[in-house]
Structure 1
């Protein structure tokens, strides 16, 4: 039986019922527990509540991690749920009937069924997008009567709850990725991913991760002589150590670049959709963060390459401001929010075989940034309703603006200082309107400017229009060179006519800085990725994309843990440090083995 198959009749029923949006009222109404009644620890004449409603309430409390003694109070607040279980909402059981010792005693012969069903319901609900198993509790307001917990208490809550949340996420993410395996392999199907995870959290290469896996799986090996390589039937202790690092590399090499993109983007999607129900309930209705419309940042990450360049098809020249000459480039789409910068899409750059370069007029390139934007937005569009795009400077192109306008998206992009824009910046002090006063901002706006360039399935000098907004230099600006005015491209309705217009335009451009924290995320992603000396691009691409998955899991565990302990804060950095999270992952992997 595979881990995804239900091990109980009740679990099988749940699998048939659970779907996106299925709640406990629907599940409670449809679950049939008749065949379990003979295992009721109380005789039929016992004055306590009947079997079906009590058992379903018990199962519900276990799945939702609710206090058993609080069942009557919570069902009183949810009469529809009480009816679904079979209770009379006006005649609910007493608190004493629901004491943990009494319920555990009553259902003692059903503990294994409850435990297996609870685990299966959570897993299936998470995979299919049901709110069951992760009900939103929301943040609580801290008052004199309900003070904020101490740092020590919060830290203990994080420790206790974080690893529990991590176990739930393991069951969602790991099954999303399937690596190729030869027939009749001896190691389990998830051991290659465990090895990759070990490499990611320890920043090890595949072979080192293979050795670490062997240490975990077989810490006290039985060495027998003579040493044999014929197979496990000869008692070779090697097979108790799991697959080697070379096995992992060979498996990844069998996958195409597109196959890796499909699988890893699916895993990223799972991590984000796992958090989405909570994010939606915790935010305002105006969609300013993760609601009906999201803000997305498009970025290109550079991973340095120092080895031999022979036959390295995907290798790209590094930007002039980097200390290295060659690199691999990976593009990402990231949600822009408060302390929750999830990667929702990732793709590699640098090969004409992967990029649709034939669809462009003119000279062939290794990739077109407009096509990168299309690819990332298409991935994000599958489960995020995008309303605003903040892209880095490399996305300053006719093709990108054409793409964003075609999709009806607003955008803010730092402008490349071509000859035209550089002249405007050089004359900023003469062109700007407004004053250096508390309620005014000097800036320059020029609307309806034209840009020409190649566009997919169009001509090489396609025209697009944009608005240019130039802000004064800012010492905290990390995007433009020091002391330089800050030019941005946008299609927002901006103006510098009056002070109110200037303030609004400035606020919209400065929101680009909301994405500044995302820059820190890329160093974290690199910390969460295995390294390799392999020249095979598929290996390097898989390591980076898997690092994005680990990074998302870190953010997700941090956010869900805060939600569980009811201490949610807007923070520049996650409450749980990456190093602490990777320690948890390492311990969790040890338990999995």
Structure 2
């Protein structure tokens, strides 16, 4: 709580109206979070819930008053301040407060929009069953959504509970549910997912707040460490990204970031032997089929020159941090001796034979680094120069999204690769629906869109199950 208090004190000191500005600032100053005792940058939904739901009115007013007093005292002492403080305490504008949507208005609007979205999106999914089946196909999507509402809930236990919460006459048992999902191939799941996302994009694209052109982030996430026997599944349960002796399932996604609503455009499994070029190219093919892409953001595990060349050949820009090798470490040491905070240099990366990829290396010194050597510097690569470097902070949005996505996943001990991937892909869809519903609710109630959600994920999933009967 103390760390969050300090974060919002920082927000008030700068005079930022919304949590979006605070989140963006933190992603560009990760070292500040470490100094505040935070292990990671809090996602925007966490910041929004903390300020609007966890903090009382009195606590919020205390933070605002403290920030105002700090600004006044600092300015009086001749210290530079980020904004001009109000010398008189602000008064409460009842009319302005009444214009802000209350919780009931948000829920009412969310119910209507979720009902519509559910009927548009979920028909893209099909189990390819006959017409004579006693249990309606939509009951399976109902159950899968229900599993997403309860953290770490497996199909067997969830199916037993769902019998009492569902309004349907018949619902699937856990083993039947898993059996139907296992019949779907990886490609079938991916194709259904892309169709569902395309329908979802069609709904949000009708608003002026949706930016169909923009920035995407690509990343790989891991399931929990797999500790059991993986015999016969070595190509699917692969090593972790940290190159330890542990094993895990891995999934790759491409997601809209930046000013756009953070929808996961596509998801795919990662198998042993697949190159990063294959993975990135596959995901970009899907992304560019759905939206116009300008810039690609990735983590340093994608710093291969062949990945960068492929992106450039598509006419796209990229920003990727580079793993520091001997030459980069030597350059960073020279910059440290010169006390230079930033440096750019062109570099040709060897592709093979007489082919080269041209990029720009950008050295940036971290503020308040805990190190006193070359590790004070980070090295980024970009094919558009340093102008795009500020956008790299948006990449944190895909990692933030993974936290919610994993929260929506049903639990399982099965080694079935298709079942595992479906659970992940469906969780990505639930996350995307939540963020799309939130955008539509914000636009309907306020006429604007801020990244900080006003509709909670639990509200959206509950409404999907309750209102649509589709899940």
1:320 aligns with 2:242: yes
Q: Decide whether aligned partners of structure 1 residues 275 and 579 sit closer, same or farther in structure 2, where only a CA change above 3 A counts.
A: same
1:410 aligns with 2:410: no
Separation in 1 of the partners of 2:178 and 2:418? 9
Separation in 1 of the partners of 2:140 and 2:354? 49
Q: Is the contact between residue 122 and residue 470 of structure 2 (CA under 8 Å) also seen in structure 1?
A: no
Question: For 1:387, which of 288, 291, 294 is the aligned residue?
Answer: 294
Q: Decide whether aligned partners of structure 1 residues 563 and 253 sit closer, same or farther in structure 2, where only a CA change above 3 A counts.
A: same
Question: For 1:294, which of 198, 202, 214 is the aligned residue?
Answer: 214
Q: Which residue of 2 aligns with 1:50?
A: none
Q: Which residue of 1 aligns with 2:456?
A: 577
Instruction: Note the C-alpha offset of 1:474.
Output: 3.3
Q: Which segments of 5 or more consecutive residues in structure 2 lack a partner in the other structure? A: 1-92
Alignment of 1:275-286 (within 5 A): 275-278=204-207, 281-282=208-209
Question: For 1:426, which of 333, 348, 352 is the aligned residue?
Answer: 333
Q: Which residue of 2 aligns with 1:450?
A: 348
TM-score scaled to structure 2, two decimals?
0.73
Residues matched between the structures, number? 374
1:484 aligns with 2:376: yes
Separation in 2 of the partners of 1:472 and 1:329? 32
1:469 aligns with 2:362: yes
Instruction: Note the C-alpha offset of 1:569.
Output: 4.6
Q: Decide whether aligned partners of structure 1 residues 463 and 273 sit closer, same or farther in structure 2, where only a CA change above 3 A counts.
A: same
Instruction: Note the C-alpha offset of 1:201.
Output: 1.9
Q: Which residue of 2 aligns with 1:508?
A: 388
Spell out, residue by residue over 1:162-181, the C-alpha distance to the aligned partner (whole angstroms, 9 max, x if none).
11111001101110101133
Partner SS for 1:260: helix
Q: Is the contact between residue 276 and residue 307 of structure 2 (CA under 8 Å) also seen in structure 1?
A: yes
Instruction: Note the C-alpha offset of 1:373.
Output: 1.0
Instruction: Note the C-alpha offset of 1:150.
Output: 5.6
Q: Is the contact between residue 339 and residue 570 of structure 1 (CA under 8 Å) also seen in structure 2?
A: no
Q: With CA pairs under 8 Å and 6+ residues apart, which has the higher RCO, 1 or 2?
A: 2
Alignment of 1:556-567 (within 5 A): 556-566=436-446
Q: Which segments of 5 or more consecutive residues in structure 1 lack a partner in the other structure? A: 1-143, 220-239, 284-289, 352-365, 434-441, 454-458, 495-504
Separation in 2 of the partners of 1:476 and 1:300? 27
Q: Is the contact between residue 218 and residue 297 of structure 2 (CA under 8 Å) also seen in structure 1?
A: yes
Instruction: Note the C-alpha offset of 1:182.
Output: 5.9
Q: Which residue of 1 aligns with 2:150?
A: 202
Instruction: Note the C-alpha offset of 1:190.
Output: 1.5
Separation in 2 of the partners of 1:257 and 1:167? 28
Separation in 2 of the partners of 1:568 and 1:309? 50
Spell out, residue by residue over 1:492-532, the C-alpha distance to the aligned partner (whole angstroms, 9 max, x if none).
1x3xxxxxxxxxx3x53122012323321110011112121
Alignment of 1:27-176 (within 5 A): 147=96, 149=98, 153-176=101-124
Partner SS for 2:441: helix
TM-score scaled to structure 1, two decimals?
0.58
Q: Is the contact between residue 190 and residue 266 of structure 2 (CA under 8 Å) also seen in structure 1?
A: no
Q: Is the contact between residue 334 and residue 342 of structure 1 (CA under 8 Å) also seen in structure 2?
A: yes
Q: Is the contact between residue 432 and residue 443 of structure 1 (CA under 8 Å) also seen in structure 2?
A: no
Spell out, residue by residue over 1:163-209, the C-alpha distance to the aligned partner (whole angstroms, 9 max, x if none).
11110011011101011336742111222221211112223212122
Q: Is the contact between residue 209 and residue 449 of structure 2 (CA under 8 Å) also seen in structure 1?
A: no
Coordinate RMSD, CA, aligned: 2.8
Q: Computing the radius of gyration over CA atoms, which structure comes out larger, 1 or 2?
A: 1
Spell out, residue by residue over 1:214-266, the C-alpha distance to the aligned partner (whole angstroms, 9 max, x if none).
223479xxxxxxxxxxxxxxxxxxxx432211112111211211111111122
Q: Which residue of 2 aligns with 1:303?
A: 223
Q: Is the contact between residue 113 and residue 441 of structure 2 (CA under 8 Å) also seen in structure 1?
A: yes
Instruction: Note the C-alpha offset of 1:538.
Output: 0.5
Q: Which residue of 2 aligns with 1:253?
A: 182
Q: Decide whether aligned partners of structure 1 residues 474 and 182 sit closer, same or farther in structure 2, where only a CA change above 3 A counts.
A: farther
Separation in 1 of the partners of 2:278 and 2:149? 32
Q: Is the contact between residue 180 and residue 252 of structure 1 (CA under 8 Å) also seen in structure 2?
A: no
